[in-house]
Amino acid sequence: MEIKEDMKNNIIYKNIPTLELTKEQLEQCSKLFSENYGKYSEKSVIRPGERVKMGVSYYQKNYVKDNFSVALAIDKEEIIGQAFYIRKNYEKVGTMTWIVQLVVNKTYRKMGIASKLLRSIWGFSDDFAWGLATANPCTVKTLESATMRKCKPAIIEKHLKDISLIGKDIGFVKDGALEVDKHSSQVNSHFDVDNSSFEGKEEYENRLGKLRPGREWLAFTFREQGIYKSIYKSKFNRIIKFSEEQLRDAYSRMSMKNQKWASGQKNEIDYILSKINNSSKNLKIIDFGCGVGRHSLELAQKGFNVYGIDYSEDHIASAEKNASDKKITNTKFVCGDIRKFKGKSKYDLALCLYDVIGSYPDKRNNERILQIIYNSLEIGGFLALSVMNYELTDKIVPNKQKGKVKENPDLLLKLKPATIMQTTGDIFDPKYIVIDKDEHLIYRKEQFSNDGKLSAEYVIRDKRYTMKEIVEMLQKKGFKIVDKRYVRAGHFDEALEPSDAHAKEILIIAKK
Ligand SMILES: C[S@@+](CC[C@H](N)C(=O)[O-])C[C@H]1O[C@@H](n2cnc3c(N)ncnc32)[C@H](O)[C@@H]1O
């Protein structure tokens, strides 16, 4: 069991457009498939009882083209799991995804690898349809669970014309190959794989029809299917928990380079230094949740020594690179979780800027971070903190997007997914926000793709604060408030009205 856990932890996942696969990777894919996929059935017209094999040239001809990608699981540079798929936007229909091949190395089965690969491909809630052809009941089950909908022949039949659009882009789906009626959904792929040992066959034979020779099930689910709601409640906690576990990943994939809010550090640091009124270069400074180090580096360029901590490895790597590019030597960046931070030194100034506090929907985690910051300061030391302005968020989000999210699934189901974290960073765009008013919690759906990692849609929750709330939280911890204001990025020197459209942050300078 432990060995499996170890193996699981070492696996890395990637998502690559197939046109970017190297010859060596294709050879590995071919080998993985040919050694692990399975056998033709004894009744197969071709190669009865023999292993199913697929050569590099088949991949090149059928899968290495526009709109095809592959999700890979890799252990020590060896591909041990692969899911080839096509995801394409069809005019007047929408985006459809079809997984054309899924295989996991036998040694690595029952570790959730296939499920992880498939979920990453199907997990986009605004796609029109998701599907695949398979003789394996487990794969149909994963489709249903990942998309929270059931495969129903009648609905598949209704959309057969739409499905055949994507079918045309796939080599083995020839004209007339889709054989669907109200009780059965199959595709004639001339692929007689031996499925005698598959568990759970009967359920799918009842629902999608007993497989005729050379056929696989055509399993598809559609966004329009209402079934999502009925299982949503029972899955709600799991969806949220999964997303929360992925928060660090989401932060890592937040591209700060091109985001407007992340460029005003010069003004921000000048304002903070003016408030603490101490320019001694001996000040000890720590930057909690330093990201790519923009404030730390600004301070370092002014001659201060700065220690930066962030739990995103990618951000810390960028921070170190930024320091070395600028030949800055008086910063130290460390990858670590603030909630577990046990610094030996005490600091004169702590920064905690741009929503590090508020990253967590529960009070416990946010308060814990604040306590750790408090403990790390000298008596008389300063904190410069910024959190997101709840008052503005509440003003700009329409009432129909507010309520109790857990009890009213429609709020989240109807919410449009965004790609904000990966693009603009404008997490105040009201189109993409649902508010749980009781707790001042903000829900967003964020999609990530095309950055080499597995694609994903996460439900991101953040806690935004009213001035009163954050001030009370700081005072309760023992801080004295030196300065408080509503601000916009890059203009901390300019105090704004609470509901000014630009006042996205609340800035507080506090003293221990
Ligand atoms: C919106 S970014 C702001 C980054 C930086 N302060 C800035 O202004 O550019 C929030 C940062 O907090 C980090 N973060 C959130 N929770 C954390 C935790 N528990 N431990 C360490 N870093 C954390 C994230 O990785 C992310 O880099």
Per-residue confidence (pLDDT) for residue 193, from 0 to 100: 79
In 377-482, alpha helices (H): 390-396, 409-413, 467-477
Q: Measuring from atom 9 of ligand 1, which residue has the nearest CA?
A: 291
Residue nearest to atom 12 of ligand 1 (CA): 289
Residue 288 CA, ligand 1 centroid: distance in Å = 7
Bridge partner residues of 131 (DSSP)? 98, 220
For the chain, give the percent of residues with pLDDT over 70.
98
Helices (H), 66-192: 113-122, 137-147, 153-158, 160-168
**pLDDT tens-digit map of 307-357:** 999 999 999 999 999 999 999 999 999 999 999 999 889 999 999 999 999
pLDDT of 154 reads 97
Distance of CA 318 to the CA centre of its chain: 20
* Nearest CA residue ID for atom 13, ligand 1: 289
pLDDT tens across 463-511, in order?
999 999 999 999 999 999 999 999 999 999 999 999 999 999 999 999 9
For residue 369, what is the enclosing H or E element? helix 363-376
Query: What average pLDDT score do residues 349-375 get?
Result: 95
Of all protein residues, the one whose alpha carbon is nearest to atom 27 of ligand 1 is 291
259-389+465-511 has the same fold as 2-226: no
At residue 441 the predicted structure's pLDDT band, cuts being 50, 70 and 90, is very high
Full-model pTM: 0.86
Domain 2-226, architecture per CATH: 3-Layer(aba) Sandwich (3.40)
Enumerate residues 6+ apart whose C-beta is below 8 A from 226: none
**Residue for token pair 């919690």:** 441
Q: Mean pLDDT across the stretch 19-30?
A: 97
427: tokens are: 């997490």
Ligand 1 neighbours (beta carbon < 6 A): 251, 262, 289-291, 294, 310-312, 315, 337-339, 353-356, 359
Give the residue ranges of DSSP H helices in 67-159: 113-122, 137-147, 153-158
pLDDT tens across 77-115, in order? 999 999 999 999 999 999 999 999 999 999 998 898 998
Among the atoms of ligand 1, which is closest to the Cα of residue 252?
25
Domain chopping of the chain, boundaries:
2-226, 259-389+465-511, 391-463
CA distance 45 to 272: 76
- Cα 95 to middle of ligand 1, angstroms: 33
CA of 356 to the centre of ligand 1 (A): 5
Strand partners, 193: 40
According to CATH, the superfamily of the domain at 259-389+465-511 is Vaccinia Virus protein VP39 (3.40.50.150)
CA–centroid distance, 217 to ligand 1, in Å, is 46
**Which token pair is 446?**
């964020």
Task: Pick the closest to residue 310 from 254, 268, 233 (CA basis).
Answer: 254
Q: How many CB atoms lie within 10 A of CB 472?
A: 12
Give the Å distance between the CA of 225 and the centre of ligand 1.
38
Distance CA 210, CA 136 (A): 12
- Ligand 1 closest atom vs CA 256: 9
- Give me the pLDDT at residue 278, please: 78
**How many angstroms from the chain centroid is the CA of residue 244?**
10
